[in-house]
Amino acid sequence: MDVQTWTYLLVALSFALYIGIAIWSRAASTKDFYVAGGGVSPLANGMATAADWMSAASFISMAGIIAFAGYDGSVYLMGWTGGYVLLALLLAPYLRKFGRFTVPDFIGERYYSKTARIVAVMCALLVSFTYVAGQMRGVGVVFSRFLEVDINTGVIIGMVIVLFYAVLGGMKGITYTQVAQYCVLIFAFMVPAIFISIQMTGNPVPQIGMGSALADGSGTYLLDKLDGLSTELGFAAYTDGTKSLTDIFCITLALMVGTAGLPHVIVRFFTVRRVRDARKSAGLALLFIAILYTTAPAVSVFAKTNLLKTVSDRPYEEMPAWFKNWEKTGLLVFEDKNADGRVQYVAGESNELIVDRDIMVLANPEIAALPAWVIALVAAGGLAAALSTAAGLLLVISSSISHDLIKNVFRPDITEKQELWLARGAATVAVVIAGYFGINPPDFVAAVVALAFGLAAASFFPAILLGIFYKRMNSKGAVSGMVVGISLMLFYMLKFKFGLFDGGKEAVDALEPEWWFGVSPEGFGSLAMVANFATALLVNAFTAPPPQDVQDLVENIRTPEGAPPAGGH
């Protein structure tokens, strides 16, 4: 069978599995819809958390970024992995003990304020819509190549699938669907990586193969070969960095603290029975995540080496089938500037080839001439990664509107059945909006996702951290900090990503941006977070402390299960 037939078969089977699970585990109550009934096992929750966490940015785009940025791309690897550790150790157990459905729920209760809840809802919607745009873009990229439909049609197909199991099953359906999606995505990521590692270095372990000598008997190490290929074409050596240390630090920090403030990941820890189970599932999720994250740098090295060896200074007519297939999607563009019929892939203005970073993982098995079923498997894995995260984000959006905004602010008298219908209606509207942003994305997948992390870092992380570890933090301080942080981050995004104040996105792309303090939009969440902390603590110092019962609540959150309360014997 050819690649397209294999792809139709594997994608259809995986979609049938997801829909079947959604029907089997459909939500019958708001508790099922929001937190899967609170009875998920640590193992299942660990796998579901890993799938929720490893989005299209992790599966499709991260290795692509590292492939093109080399050393500079490691900020995504360090930031996202370190951030998950921060979330698992510092926040998740305490939030689980608090026992609310959502992050706005925690902030509304902890800061005893409807205003705080409303601000948290607005922040959750901004973070989630920015993040889900990247997932829908990933769905479109996969469909456009492997099912040979345009990106817009691919996004619409993805919208229909995710809408079905997210709206029908809620968190219960999403959780067990994500378990299946984790199995699909990790198998799809590892199989081609192992194949190519054996092919290039003779070593079946990709993490070791990346640092091994080539299997051609030359004795040349793979990374040395890639450095040589890069410098011959005028690019920086793959293992050298070009970003400033300040920007690298800020991007890494923004991704770390943004991770710890992501509402769709935090809510996963409310789905288990006990705090102990939250800790177990966090540890298991970290193990499941590490399998992909330690393999991604190897995949990027394999992909970039094979790409440079394949396309550099070669007649266009001799380009392999994968090159022509990706050209049809518009994600690989060849412009013969000197009309010599050869592909010049070099640094500078004479470069004739534009390669979208989001295609590298998907194209990697084709470039390496792996079997058709392996190529199709990667397509199914990319869809699993994008849809699993999109579903989690849509649940955050729907619960923020139905539970946090309508039930707890505007209409506390609505019945559970009405709230469930509102949640499903909000999810439906959210899918349509997410689809629009997937069709009109502001950047490639990982860059869009990085902006979502910046928004989470600027808004939620300080409020959650202070809410757990500083019992005298009051509502006025927390609300002021969130408003300042999210506003600053939004302004910076609009200015330097969309050119809202500088003549539009095209004008910004054409100019060398004069970033504040040399920090890119992907890293500015760090500075906005500092502004949030400073504002919150300053306002808190000049306003009344929280009520005593709130301070006692915070003490109780920090007391281990089974221990006597603070001041007790």
* pLDDT band for position 466 (cuts 50, 70, 90): very high
Q: What is the mean pLDDT of residues 426-450?
A: 71
Spatial distance between the Cα atoms of 450 and 258, rounded to a whole number of angstroms: 9
Query: pLDDT at position 193, please?
Result: 92
Among 264-273, 318-327, 421-430, where is mean pLDDT lowest? 264-273
114-134: pLDDT as tens digits: 899 889 888 888 888 777 777
Q: What is the mean pLDDT of residues 491-496?
A: 84
Spatial distance between the Cα atoms of 58 and 222, rounded to a whole number of angstroms: 23
Query: pLDDT at position 171, please?
Result: 65
Among 127-141, 336-350, 449-463, 522-536, where is mean pLDDT lowest? 127-141
* pLDDT band for position 567 (cuts 50, 70, 90): very low
Residue 563 has pLDDT above 60, yes or no: no
- Residue 457: burial class (beta carbons within 10 Å; 0-12, 13-18, 19+): buried
* pLDDT band for position 26 (cuts 50, 70, 90): low
* pLDDT band for position 531 (cuts 50, 70, 90): very high
Q: Which of 434-443, 447-456, 493-502, 544-553 has the highest mean pLDDT?
A: 544-553
407: left (phi over 0), alpha (psi -120 to 50) or beta: alpha
Spatial distance between the Cα atoms of 157 and 143, rounded to a whole number of angstroms: 9
Among 323-327, 430-434, 560-564, where is mean pLDDT lowest? 560-564
Rounded to 5 degrees, what angle do the CA atoms 117, 120, 125 make? 125
Spatial distance between the Cα atoms of 34 and 399, rounded to a whole number of angstroms: 7
Query: pLDDT at position 399, please?
Result: 76
Collapsed DSSP state (helix, strand, coil) of residue 343: strand
Q: Which of 44-58, 89-103, 316-330, 534-548 has the highest mean pLDDT?
A: 534-548
The rounded mean pLDDT for the chain is 80
DSSP per residue, 130-175:
HHHHHHHHHHHHHHHHHS---HHHHHHHHHHHHHHHHHHHHHHHHH
Reduce the secondary structure of 420-480 to three states and give it as a string: HHHHHHHHHHHHHHHHHHHHCCCCCHHHHHHHHHHHHHHHHHHHHHHHHHCCCCCHHHHHH
Tokens of 444: 């490639």
Q: What is the mean pLDDT of residues 489-506?
A: 72
Query: pLDDT at position 506, please?
Result: 54
Q: pLDDT > 70: what percent of the chain?
A: 88
Q: What is the mean pLDDT of residues 507-527?
A: 75
Q: Which of 466, 502, 497, 462 is nearest to 482 (CA)?
A: 462
Query: pLDDT at position 441, please?
Result: 64
Q: What is the mean pLDDT of residues 300-329?
A: 84
Report CA torsion sign: 319, 322, 328, 332. Answer: negative
Residue 566 has pLDDT above 50, yes or no: no
Spatial distance between the Cα atoms of 354 and 331, rounded to a whole number of angstroms: 8
Query: pLDDT at position 487, please?
Result: 93
Spatial distance between the Cα atoms of 14 and 360, rounded to a whole number of angstroms: 23
225, 305 Cβ separation under 8 angstroms: yes
Query: pLDDT at position 204, please?
Result: 92
Q: What is the mean pLDDT of residues 522-544?
A: 94
Among 57-66, 227-236, 416-425, 506-515, where is mean pLDDT lowest? 506-515
Spatial distance between the Cα atoms of 72 and 241, rounded to a whole number of angstroms: 5
Tokens of 148: 């040979």
Residue 405 has pLDDT above 90, yes or no: no
What's the pTM? Answer: 0.79
Choice between 503 and 451, residue whose per-residue pLDDT is larger: 451
Domain 3-445: give its CATH code. Answer: 1.20.1730.10
Strand partners, 103: none
93-103: pLDDT as tens digits: 787 777 666 77
Tokens of 124: 């959750």
